[in-house]
Amino acid sequence: MGRAGRLSTFLLFCPALLWLGLLIVAPLVDMGALSVSERVSSDEFRFGFANYATFFEEPVYWQTFARTAGFAIIVTAATLVVAFPTALYIAKQAKGMGRVALFTLSLLPFWVSELVRTLGWMILLRESGLISGLLQWLGLAQGRVELLYNDGAMLVGLVYGGLLFMLIPLINALDSLDEHLVEAGLDLGGSRWTVMRRIIIPHAMPGIVAGSIVVFMLTIGNFATAVLLGGKNSLWFTQAIYDQFITRFDWPQGAAFGFMLLGLSSVLVWLGLKLTGQSLTRSLQQP
Amino acid sequence: MSKDLDVQGIVKSFGGPAAVDGVSFHVPEGSFFSILGPSGCGKTTLMRMIAGFIEPDQGRITVAGQSILGLPPNRRPVNMVFQNLALFPMMNVAENIAYGLKCRGEDKGAIGPKVDRILGRVGLAGFGDRRVDQLSGGQKQRVAIARCLVLEPALVLLDEPLGALDLKLREHMKIELKQLQGEFGTTFAYITHDQSEALVMSDQVAVMARGRFEQVGSPRDLYYRPATPFVAGFVGQSVRWHGKVEQRDAGWVLLRTAEGLPVVAAWDGTGTDAQLFVRPEAIQLARTEAELGTLENKFEGTLSSLLFDGAASSVLIAENTTNTEVRVALPQSGPMLQLVAGDTVWFGWAGEAGACFAVDA
C-alpha cells in the first residue's frame, strides 16, 4: 500500500478512533484512577483499594449486586423464551410484506426513548392506570390495584426493553436454517419437540448466545426502567452507583462500584459461556 | 403382505391448474422406481405427498395395504433423501444415523452396533466421529442414505440426490446407488429430471409431464417404444421431423417432411400429419448407397460438421436435395472415423426404427 493509501486508511479510521479514545478509553482510564484513590481527609487522597474493599465489607452492596445479577439472568431467560417463538415465526413462517411488517412492529417501540417507554408501562400499571381500571370494570377487583413498584413490574419492563436485542440475532440465526433440515428431522421420525430440541435450537445457538449476552449486559446496567418500575424498595446496583456519584458525591466509591459492575458482569458472561459450552468467537462469527 | 407402494388417482392443485393430476402407479417391494420429468412437472409435489409434507386433494396412497394418508411425516414408514441431503450439521456422522433410531425410542445399547453395522455396509466404517462438513460429496450421499436405511423403512424416497454432484461422481454414484438398493432390497422411489439416471438405475420409470404420467415402463420400453411424442422427445436424443402423410399402405406410410424429404415409416395410425422421431444411433452411415443395403430410407448428403464428444460423438449431415440437416451418431471405430467436413456420405435407417405419432393438423 502506498503512502497515500495509508494516509487515507488512517483518516477513515480517525472518527472511530476519536470516538473510542475520547468517549470510552479516556473516561475509563480516569475512572480507573479515581476508583483506586482512598479519601484520607476531606480533600486529601492517596492510592489504595479501600473503595473496592467497601463492596465486600458492606453486605448491602454485594447483596444488591447479587440480586441485580440474579434478576438480570431471569430477565435474559424470560426474554429468550418470549423472543424465540416470535423470531422463529418471523424468520421461517412470515413471507414478503408480512415479514417486513412484523419486523417493523418489533422495531417501532425502540424509536421512542427508554424513558418514554418506561413511562408507558407506568401509565398501564399504576394504581389509577389502565389495567387497574380494567380489572375494576370487569369486577375482578374491588378497589384500585397497584401493579407498579414490584419485581413483577420490573421484570415486564426489562424484558420489554431487551426484546429487540434478542430478536435481531435470533432472526439472523434462524434465517439461515435450511427448511429441509426440519423436514428431514420430522421425516426420520422426530416429533416437533425433538426437531426443536435437536435441530432448531442447536442451529440457533450462536444467535441465542449473542442475544443473551447483549440482553444480560443491557439489563444489568439498566437504570431508568429498574428504578422507575421497581420503586424505592427494590435494590438495583446501578442505583447504588448513582447514589455514590450524585447523592453522596463520593466519586471514588462510585467509580469503584462501576468497575465492580463491569468486572463481575464480564465474569458472569464468561461463566455462562463456559457452563453452556459455547464460544464467543463462534457466536460472533454467525452468518 | 409385501411392502408395496400403491398410489391411486392422486390429485393436488395449489389453486390454478393441478400440479399433480390423477396419477396412479404401483411399486412392488424391492424394486427401483423412478419418476422422470422436466422441472415443474409435479414430481416433487408427488413425492412430498408420499412423504407426508403435503396432503393430496384426492386419491389414495397405501403402503403394504395400509393407507398412510393423514399420518404425519414422522409416522409414515417412508423416509426421504433430500435434494441437498439435509444432513444435520450440528451432529456427527454417527449421530446423524442414530437420530431416527433415537426418535423411535430404541434401546440405547442397540443403537451403537446398528449404526456401526450400517456404516460398514455403505463403506464408511470408522467415519462415525467425523463432522458432516469433513465428508466428500459421495460420502455425504452415503450417510444420507444410511440414515434412512438404518430405520428399515418400507420405502425410501430420493429427491434428485445426485443433482449437486459433479459429473464424474454422479456417474459413479448412479452405479453405487443401484448396488446399494440391490443389496438392501429396499424399495426406492427416485425422482429426477436426468434421463440417464432414471434409465441406468430403474426397474420401472414413469415419465411425467404437466402433472400426469405420460408412460410407465421399463427403461428399454421408454427408449425403444415411447408411447407419446413427449416421451420420445424427452428420453434420449432424437432426430425429429414433422411430416404430411402422402401414401399409406398396410402399416407403412410415406411422409413428406416440412423440408421436403420423403421418409418411410412403420405406422398404423390415422391422420394426415405425423411427427417422426428417429434415434441418432439408429441411422447408419456409409460411403456408398450399396453399403446401406435394403434400408427403407436412404439419402445422400454432405457432412457439414463433426461434433466430437468421445463415445457420444456425432456428425451433422446436410441432405443433398432438400438441405435437411440430420444429426447422426458417429461410431468411434470402423471406417467412418476418417470423415472430414465436406465429404459426401450416405445415411439411412430402417422404417421400423422411427417412432411415429399423429399430430393435429
pLDDT single digits (tens) B87-110: 999 999 999 999 999 999 998 899
Residue B238: pLDDT band by 50, 70, 90 thresholds? confident
Partners of B154 on chain A (C-beta within 8 Å) are: none
Paired strand residues for B285: B347
Residues of A in contact with B103 (CB under 8 A): 188-191, 194
Q: Which of residues 68-87 of B touch A (CB under 8 A)?
A: 72-75, 78-80, 82-84, 86
Task: Please say whether the beta carbons of B219 and B202 come within 8 A.
Answer: yes
pTM of the model: 0.80
- ipTM associated with this complex: 0.81
What is the share, in percent, of chain B residues with pLDDT greater than 70? 99
Please tell me whether residue B343 adopts helix, strand or coil conformation. coil
Q: How far apart are CA B57 and CA B36, in angstroms?
A: 22
Please give the pLDDT value at position B1. Answer: 56
- Average pLDDT over all residues of chain B: 89
Test mutation, B44, B79, B87, B90, chain A, max A CBs within 10 A: B90
Q: What is the pLDDT of residue A287?
A: 46
Looking at residue A1, what is its pLDDT? 57
Residue range B60-85: mean pLDDT, rounded: 91
What is the structure's pLDDT at A283? Answer: 67
What's the pLDDT score for residue A286? 52
Minimum distance, in Å, between the CA of residue B78 and any CA atom of chain A: 8
pLDDT tens per residue across span B149-206? 999 998 999 998 888 788 888 888 899 889 989 888 999 999 999 888 899 999 999 9
CA B30 – CA B259 distance, rounded (Å): 49
Question: What pLDDT is recorded for position B49?
Answer: 93
The span from the CA of A40 to the CA of A26, in Å, is 26
Under an 8 A CB cutoff, do A199 and B84 touch?
no
B74 and A199 in contact by Cβ < 8 A?
no
H helix intervals, chain A: 3-18, 26-35, 50-57, 59-88, 96-107, 114-125, 130-137, 151-175, 179-187, 192-195, 201-220, 224-230, 237-242, 251-275, 280-284
Q: Which residue of B has its CA nearest to A206?
A: B90
Cβ contacts of A191 on chain B, cutoff 8 Å: 74, 103
Q: Do B84 and A180 touch (CB under 8 A)?
A: yes
Query: Which of A188, A193, A194, A200 is best to mutate for the B interface (most B CBs within 10 A)?
Result: A188
Distance (Å) from the alpha carbon of A95 to chain B's nearest alpha carbon? 17
Closest alpha carbon within chain A to B74: A189
pLDDT at B52: 92
Rounded mean pLDDT, B31-42: 92
Between chain A and chain B, the number of residue pairs with CB atoms below 8 A apart is 60
Closest residue in chain B to residue A194, using alpha carbons only = B103
The CA distance from B187 to the nearest CA of chain A, in Å, is 16
How many whole angstroms separate alpha carbon A46 and alpha carbon A52? 14
Give the sign of the dihedral formed by CA B308, CA B312, CA B318, CA B320. Answer: positive
Weakly modelled stretches of chain A, pLDDT under 70: 1, 233, 282-287
